[in-house]
Structure 1
Amino acid sequence: MRNLWPALLCLLAACGGNFSNEDLEYLNALPSREALASKLPGTDTSSGSGLAQRRDRLVVGDISQLYIDTRKASADFNASLDSLLGLLENIRTVPPTTREPDRRTWGPWPDRNQPGHQVRFLMDRAGDSFDYRLQFKPSAAGEEAWWSFLEGSFKADAGIRVGEGELHLFIDDAVAQGLNVGGLRGLKQLDVGYQNKALPTRVEMIFSAQPTPPLTTATQVRYNYRELPGGLGEMRFLLTDTDAVPGNLREDVEITSRWTPNSGGVATFVILQGDLLGASYRECWDAQNKVTFAKRSWELFGIGKGSDCPDLSGFDG
Structure 2
Amino acid sequence: MPHERLDTYFGLPVQQFYREHLEEDEPPAGSDEPGAYAWRLGDAYEDELDEDEDGYDFGKLLEGFAGAVDVGSVRALVIGWWGPGWEENTSEAAVKALAAMAGRMPELRAVFLGEMTSGDSEISWIEHGDVTPLLEAFPRLERLDVRGSSGLRLRPVRHEALRTLRFESGGLPGHVVRAVGECELPALEHLELWLGVANYGGDCSDEDLRGVLAGEGLPALRHLGLQDSERQDEIAALAAAAPVVARLESLSLSMGTLGDEGAEALLSGQPLTHLARLDLSNHYFSEGMAERLRAALPGVELTMTPGTTYDWNVGGRYVEVSE
Richer in strand (by share): 1
Larger RCO, structure (CA 8 Å, separation 6 or more): 1
Richer in helix (by share): 2
TM-score by length of 1: 0.34
TM-score by length of 2: 0.34
